[in-house]
């Protein structure tokens, strides 16, 4: 019995050891795959920064350069001599921030209305609004341009800000989050004497922060990367946003790829900063949306 018991214990220890080894091996393999994916994803950005510090001759050397040089400020001066790039960066920041702030306000207001109020034709209106998301954006470019021209908004930022601040996707997203706010909480606030806008501002918005973070990031990125509309509307170099300014650099700086990489790096920096600042709310919003139900 003693020998048999000892053998069983030895077998259990051996099985446990094998399981631990397998578990550690799987973790090592998983982390190796994940780190490889991260490296592959980040390498183009790293290489962009490397090229931003190289002269044109160094960029086309063989083997290709894989570490930083000392031509960053020379490339930056070349860039600034051809375009008012800091002004273009400010234009993009102004348009993106203003669009994001107004979109968050009006879309959350619309989402709150659909989520917490009952009115005639509510469902039909909501589904009609959602249906507009199936219309390709290109179909509306010509009517949009004609309207902006009639409004006298050519070569201004208003066409890039106003038309999309109450968009169907944003209202739908905020409605999904505000559906989870208990009606009893809103009724209690009304009993306590809170006005309707006060309830929206002090109760609904704080309870929908993950949704606001998600919508804010998506709106900021979409506004920052928008190219076709600014290209059609903006006519002066001092009015260009970043995507238009970068496209106009082609041919203006004698194919100085280092200067173009400097401009691209400066264009990416605000996006990275915005994502870092709102990443917590963005991840919370995505997680809440994935597990809702």
Identify which has the larger pLDDT, 3 or 203: 203
Q: What is the pLDDT of residues 14-44, one digit of tens each?
A: 556 666 767 777 888 888 888 888 888 888 8
Q: Is 57 domain-assigned? A: no
Tell whether the model's pLDDT for residue 143 goes beyond 50. yes
293 pLDDT band, cuts 50/70/90, is very low
8: exposed, middle or buried (C-beta count within 10 Å: 0-12, 13-18, 19+)?
exposed
pLDDT of residue 104: 92
pLDDT of residue 257: 75
84 pLDDT band, cuts 50/70/90, is confident
- CB contact set of 278 (below 8 Å; sequence gap of 6+): 213, 216, 217
Q: Is 78 domain-assigned? A: yes
Q: Is 11 domain-assigned? A: yes
290 pLDDT band, cuts 50/70/90, is very low
pLDDT of residue 103: 93
Q: Is 237 domain-assigned? A: yes
Q: Which CATH number covers residue 254?
A: 1.10.3720.10
Q: What percent of the chain has pLDDT over 70?
A: 85
pLDDT of residue 287: 53
CA atoms of 28 and 30, how far apart (whole Å): 5
pTM beyond 0.85, yes or no: no
Pair (200, 264) in one structural domain? yes
Q: Phi first, then psi: give them for residue 118, nearest 5 degrees.
A: -110, 125
pLDDT of residue 282: 58
CA atoms of 125 and 135, how far apart (whole Å): 16
- Tell me which residue of 140, 156, 149, 160 sits closest to 225, measured CA to CA: 160
Q: What is the pLDDT of residues 150-169, one digit of tens each?
A: 998 998 999 999 988 888 99
Pair (139, 9) in one structural domain? no
Sequential DSSP letters for 52-88:
HTS-HHHHT-SSPP-S--S-HHHHHHHHHHHS-HHHH
Lowest mean pLDDT across 59-73, 107-121, 122-136, 232-246: 59-73
Pair (41, 141) in one structural domain? no
pLDDT of residue 279: 65
Supply 217's token pair. Answer: 């990031």
Q: What percent of the chain has pLDDT over 90?
A: 8
Pair (46, 106) in one structural domain? no
Pair (85, 34) in one structural domain? no
Domain that holds residue 112: 72-291
- Tell me which residue of 55, 80, 131 sits closest to 266, measured CA to CA: 80
Q: Is 212 domain-assigned? A: yes
Q: What value does the mean pLDDT take over residues 188-205? A: 84
Q: What average pLDDT does the structure give for the chain?
A: 81
Q: Is 64 domain-assigned? A: no
Pair (37, 133) in one structural domain? no
Q: How many domains does the chain have?
A: 2
Pair (37, 88) in one structural domain? no
Pair (30, 118) in one structural domain? no
Q: Is 40 domain-assigned? A: yes
**Tokens 């550690």 map to which residue?**
24
pLDDT of residue 9: 58
Whether omega before 289 lies within 30 degrees of 0, making that bond cis, reads no
Pair (189, 133) in one structural domain? yes
Identify which has the larger pLDDT, 97 or 51: 97
Radius of gyration of the chain (CA): 27
pLDDT of residue 53: 82
Pair (187, 274) in one structural domain? yes
Q: What value does the mean pLDDT take over residues 87-112? A: 91
Pair (42, 100) in one structural domain? no
Pair (137, 242) in one structural domain? yes
Q: Is 258 domain-assigned? A: yes
């Amino acid at each position: 019995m003693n020998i048999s018991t000892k053998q069983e214990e030895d077998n259990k220890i051996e099985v446990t050891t094998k399981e631990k080894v397998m578990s550690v091996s799987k973790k090592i393999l998983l982390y190796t795959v994940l780190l490889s994916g991260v490296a592959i994803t980040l390498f183009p950005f790293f290489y962009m920064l490397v090229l931003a510090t190289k002269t044109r001759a160094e960029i086309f050397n063989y083997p290709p350069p894989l570490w930083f040089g000392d031509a960053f400020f020379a490339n930056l001066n070349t860039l600034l001599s051809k375009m008012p790039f800091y002004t273009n960066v400010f234009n993009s920041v102004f348009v993106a921030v203003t669009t994001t702030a107004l979109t968050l306000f009006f879309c959350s207001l619309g989402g709150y209305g659909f989520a917490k109020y009952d009115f005639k034709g509510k469902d039909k209106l909501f589904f009609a609004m959602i249906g507009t998301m199936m219309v390709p954006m290109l179909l509306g470019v010509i009517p949009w341009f004609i309207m902006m021209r009639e409004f006298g908004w050519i070569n201004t930022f208003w066409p890039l800000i106003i038309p999309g601040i109450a968009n169907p996707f944003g209202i739908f997203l905020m409605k999904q989050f505000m559906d989870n706010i208990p009606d009893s909480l809103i009724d209690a606030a009304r009993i306590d004497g809170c006005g309707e806008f006060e309830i929206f501002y002090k109760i609904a918005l704080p309870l929908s922060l993950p949704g606001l973070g998600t919508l804010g990031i998506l709106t900021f990125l979409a506004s920052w990367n928008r190219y076709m509309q600014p290209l059609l509307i903006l006519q002066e170099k001092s009015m260009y946003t970043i995507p238009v300014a970068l496209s106009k650099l082609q041919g203006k700086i004698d194919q100085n790829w280092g200067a173009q990489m400097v401009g691209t790096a400066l264009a990416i920096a605000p996006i990275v900063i915005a994502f870092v600042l709102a990443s917590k709310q963005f991840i919370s919003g995505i997680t809440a949306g994935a597990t809702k139900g």
